[in-house]
Structure 1
Amino acid sequence: MPSIRHEIPLQLLRHRAEVAPQIARAVGLPVPDLPCWRPGPETVTLLSPGELHLDVVLVGAKVDKPEFAIIHEVQNSCGTTELERIALSWPAYVTHARQRLGCPVALLAFCPDERTARKIAAPIETGHPGFTFWPRTYWPGMLPAITTIAEVDQRPELALLSAPGHLGDGERRRVLEMVLEAQRLEPDMRVQNHDYISTCVPARYRKEWEELVAIAIENYHWESDFAREHQAIGRAEGQVEALSGSVLRILERRGLAVDDAVRARVTNCTDIAQLTHWLDLALVVDSAEKILDPGTHPSSESK
């Protein structure tokens, strides 16, 4: 099963395809300036039975004609088995996608650290004279640090993707603060994004990260215009169920016992404001029962 460190970067790109060319240019890959970017096909049918499964494809177009495509892979390991698989599959990804889309195609791989990125970027000899495939890789430290509200407004996805590479003493706190601001822009993805950043933050900074989360919840205000606008947008159908499930999931992932009384209160609640408040509390309380403390409720629970 794919890990959250594999899936969240891909989810961010599927959500806003135009982030892909921004990342490519930030790490030195020339990409044409095209008016429209959209997700493309993530499977390529082979001549013989079978398919190649790509992580995500983003296609830049003028009107309906593809002009350039970026295959975006997430590669978190660089062992011998992985390198052998990459050597056989990645050149095929590019050539088959190019044949299907009829436009230039580049492959870009997101790696967790510089060491992995360097190993994955080793040239792949295909055997055909002059046809050496060079994977283009990057890691969070190659992306610009996002340290201002204005940057978060423009590039919230980059705030999340770049943060693990900018945790030095000089900029760590501001970078993590902007991660929290970016999470607020998409309330429905807040739990997954928090989980992702928590797995990326080194153990020595974990306490500082959790303290910032607690401060953000306590102060709970929206700093950016973009965030305030998104907070005002109505929730999609089914959000109550998603929120209640997220509250219970966070409590359980933090190792807190959830008894039947807490579970029933959470699953039977239909008040979105109440569930959102419980979601925030679930990140910081030291026992599941404390999310039900009447003194912390922003509104009465729906019956």
Structure 2
Amino acid sequence: MPSLRHEALLELFRNRPVLAAELLRDALGIELPAYAEARAESAELTEAVPTEYRADLVVQLWGDTPRLAIVVEVQLSPDEEKRYTWPVYLTHMRAKLRCPTVLLVVAPDAGVARWCGQPLETGHRGFVLKPYLAGPESIPVITRPEQARQAVELMVLSAMAHGQGEQGAAIAETVLPGLAGIDEERARFYFDLVMWSLNDAARTALEALMSSGTYEYQSEFARRYFTQGRQEGKADALLEVLDARGLQVDEQSRQRITACTELAQLERWLRKAVSVQSVQELFAS
């Protein structure tokens, strides 16, 4: 079953299909045909025999007709089965779409990337499949705010590939500028991915930027996100104190605590929680 990280990586390409073309052209130096549009299409392939194959994602580059199909595969661990299914993906999509077809494997882990980059011998003379590989060595390190603003999905991919390394703190500084111009739901999702990918020092630096009222790129989203995180943390701490003291928290009281959006109020309740004899006393003025 696909993992959350696997699906999150695919979501970057669904949200920005041209990302597949950008990686091939800019990161891997592949010459692409002229195209006007990139589309994420169904990745399902079927044969006449009752066997179904499903690639992760297919991106089509279009002019007046399909110019190139890019089979995008996210690989987070070695999987010997892919040595047999990857050639199938290419030949079936080529037959279905009637256009040149390439395989782009995205592998943020260096060891997995080395495995993915090995040529696949099909047994037929001259038919050797060597995937185009987007791994840590080819995924660009995004450290400038203007880069993040122009291609926020590439910034997130950069964080997922390099956020644990020495460039983590520099990558963190691009996050808020990159998220400032996109819708809140997508920004929240991408922020979670980046925070999950950064090392401890970079994560701490990003949190400090979010809490700083002087940071020039701090968006309304960032302020709300940081404030909400502090509120949720205080509410969780309050409930833990009450539980540790053996005080019964009824559902109505629990909802009142978790729904509170005033940090000052949560802090007052937290201080009182160490000495009150009941939850009702906690709420007494």
Match of 2:157 among 128, 151, 161: 161
TM-score by length of 1: 0.69
Distance of aligned partners of 1:115 and 1:135 in 2 relative to their CA distance in 1, 3 Å threshold:
same
1:130 aligns with 2:126: yes
- For the 8 Å contact 1:140–1:161, the answer to whether it is kept is no
> What residue number does 1:30 align with?
31
Unpaired segments ≥5 residues, structure 1? 232-242, 267-287, 297-303
Match of 2:135 among 122, 128, 139: 139
Distance of aligned partners of 1:62 and 1:263 in 2 relative to their CA distance in 1, 3 Å threshold:
farther
Give the letter for the 1:43 counterpart: E
Please report how far the alpha carbon of residue 51 of structure 1 lies from its aligned counterpart in structure 2 after TM superposition: 1.9
Larger radius of gyration: 2
Give the letter for the 2:69 counterpart: A
Please report how far the alpha carbon of residue 219 of structure 1 lies from its aligned counterpart in structure 2 after TM superposition: 3.2
Please report how far the alpha carbon of residue 221 of structure 1 lies from its aligned counterpart in structure 2 after TM superposition: 6.6
Q: List per-residue Cα deviations over 1:118-167 (Å, max 9, x = no partner).
A: 11111111111211111221213422222222212211111111123266
> What residue number does 1:215 align with?
209
Give the letter for the 2:263 counterpart: D
Secondary structure at the aligned position of 1:142 is classed as coil
Q: CA RMSD in A?
A: 3.3
Unpaired segments ≥5 residues, structure 2? 241-248, 267-285
Percent identity at matched positions?
29
Please report how far the alpha carbon of residue 211 of structure 1 lies from its aligned counterpart in structure 2 after TM superposition: 3.9
Q: List per-residue Cα deviations over 1:211-232 (Å, max 9, x = no partner).
A: 41243144387739xx89xx7x
Give the letter for the 1:38 counterpart: R
Which segment drifts farther, 103-112 or 209-218? 209-218
Q: How many residues are treated as equivalent by the alignment? A: 245
1:172 aligns with 2:168: yes
Distance of aligned partners of 1:123 and 1:263 in 2 relative to their CA distance in 1, 3 Å threshold:
farther
What does 1:38-117 correspond to in 2, within 5 Å? 38-63=39-64, 65-78=65-78, 82=79, 84-117=80-113
TM-score by length of 2: 0.73
- For the 8 Å contact 2:41–2:59, the answer to whether it is kept is yes
Question: 1 CA distance for matches of 2:252 and 2:57?
Answer: 42
Please report how far the alpha carbon of residue 18 of structure 1 lies from its aligned counterpart in structure 2 after TM superposition: 1.4
Secondary structure at the aligned position of 1:219 is classed as coil
